[in-house]
Amino acid sequence: MHKDEESFSFSAQEQSSASQDPLQADNLSTRISRHYPKMSKGQKRLADYVMDHYEKAAFMTAAELGRQARVSESTTVRFATLLGYQGFPEFHQTLEELVRNRLNSIQRMEVTYERIPQEKILDTVLTSDIEKIKLTQEHMDRKAFHQAIETILNAKSIYVMGLRSCAPLAAFLAFYLNEIFDNVHLVNSTGSSEVFEQLVRIGEGDVIIGISFPRYSMRTLKAMEFANNRNAKVITLTDSIHSPMNLYSSCNLIARSDMASIVDSLVAPLSVINALIVALSMRRQSAVINTMKTLEQIWNEYQVYSRDEINPIEDNRELRIKDPDKNTLDS
């Protein structure tokens, strides 16, 4: 017995989330509902499987998905085309974005445990991270990257914001921006009101760099909206052109991310951040060199970094090494 059109919907909570999704006007559920009556029996089995097991289908190839629905790989490809996608890769990407945005932590762990054997975790995760960096490199918008550099260089004040799993990325970026510029602010928050208090002076001529990956932080998104309303420039570092983070940005940097159990794979975004820091420091070489000279003096004077282990513990004490032949200590 096949499902009727009305059965093709996610939960009420998911539909509510979809109402805030840029793809809401033509999302996957809507497409399947619209085309279901004219599908073949095999395509209907595919539709049933995708709607019932979309969290698993997102990690399958066309051939694997076909086997699960008991259809051929070519039927799976035609199914994607019927829904209005250019091919299976575009359909699969839409499915991945849906899953990344809607799976909770428990569901993410279950998906991971099903697709990665325990003995292959290390190789699988490292290979996946390498692949995400390669994909980011291949698809990065170079024009947007250079636009971000110019925007930051010309900003009166620079704000950096990333919450939850993105907080370390934001802190890393702000740490090095502070060594290049005098006007960097890291926005930290445990509540929405604190965000606006830290952004109260943001305005025209300033820039905010917002970092967010699925599941997207609503507080970060609201901060981008606030900055945009105050005529500040908004730069986003996120995972997709469909990310809600891009609603208020003038410059979008896209870096691939992935789910690995409860862990967000953010190695590709970190590589993009490294590239930003290097590019900015090269554009301000003289200022950076002067800052680093001053910092080196301070670090030495106040012993910020420990000395090499073979150096004297005290300035007036020489390191004594035992001579194995003489059975004595030489200085």
The answer to whether residue 119 sits within a structural domain is: no
Are 89 and 184 contained in the same domain?
Answer: no
Task: Give tens-digit pLDDT for 233-255.
Answer: 999 999 888 788 999 998 999 99
Are 12 and 97 contained in the same domain?
Answer: yes
- Tell me: pLDDT of 21 over 90: no
CB 183 within 8 A of CB 177: no
For residue 104, what pLDDT is reported? 54
Q: Of 48, 77, 102, at which residue does a domain stop?
A: 102
Task: Give tens-digit pLDDT for 83-142.
Answer: 888 888 888 888 877 766 565 555 555 555 555 667 777 887 888 889 889 989 998 999
CB 234 within 8 A of CB 249: yes
Are 195 and 261 contained in the same domain?
Answer: yes
For residue 176, what pLDDT is reported? 96
Range list of β-strands (E), the chain: 158-162, 184-187, 207-211, 233-238, 251-254, 258-260, 263-265, 321-323, 328-330
Are 267 and 143 contained in the same domain?
Answer: yes
Are 218 and 89 contained in the same domain?
Answer: no
Q: What is the mean pLDDT of residues 14-21?
A: 38
Closest by CA to 170, choosing from 79, 90, 235, is 235
Q: What angle do CA 184, 190, 195 make, to 5 degrees?
A: 45
Intra-chain end-to-end CA distance of the chain, in Å: 89
| CATH code of 35's domain | 1.10.10.10
Are 152 and 279 contained in the same domain?
Answer: yes
3-state helix, strand, coil in the chain (%, to 5): 55, 10, 30
Are 90 and 166 contained in the same domain?
Answer: no
Are 153 and 97 contained in the same domain?
Answer: no
The answer to whether residue 307 sits within a structural domain is: no
Half-sphere exposure of 194 (CA within 13 A, CB side): 8
The answer to whether residue 157 sits within a structural domain is: yes
The answer to whether residue 239 sits within a structural domain is: yes
Q: Of 245, 268, 284, at which residue does a domain stop?
A: 284
CB 44 within 8 A of CB 69: no
The pTM of this model reads 0.65
Cα torsion at 85, 90, 94, 100 (round to 10°)? 170
| DSSP, res 326 | T
Instruction: Please state, in angstroms and rounded to a whole number, the distance separating the CA atoms of residues 242 and 253.
Output: 12
For residue 3, what pLDDT is reported? 42
The answer to whether residue 296 sits within a structural domain is: no
Instruction: Please state, in angstroms and rounded to a whole number, the distance separating the CA atoms of residues 149 and 173.
Output: 13
The answer to whether residue 315 sits within a structural domain is: no
Are 166 and 278 contained in the same domain?
Answer: yes
Q: Of 84, 102, 120, at which residue does a domain stop?
A: 102
- Total of domains in the chain: 2
Are 280 and 157 contained in the same domain?
Answer: yes
Cis check for the bond before 215: say yes or no (omega within 30 of 0).
yes
The answer to whether residue 262 sits within a structural domain is: yes
- C-alpha dist (Å) from residue 268 to 23, 113, 132, 139, 243: 24, 23, 6, 12, 16
Of 158 and 10, the one with more pLDDT: 158
Are 200 and 64 contained in the same domain?
Answer: no
**Residues of the domain holding 155:** 139-284
The answer to whether residue 313 sits within a structural domain is: no
Task: Give tens-digit pLDDT for 148-181.
Answer: 999 999 999 999 999 988 999 999 999 999 999 9
| CATH code of 162's domain | 3.40.50.10490
Percent of the chain residues past pLDDT 70, beyond the cut = 76
Are 76 and 186 contained in the same domain?
Answer: no
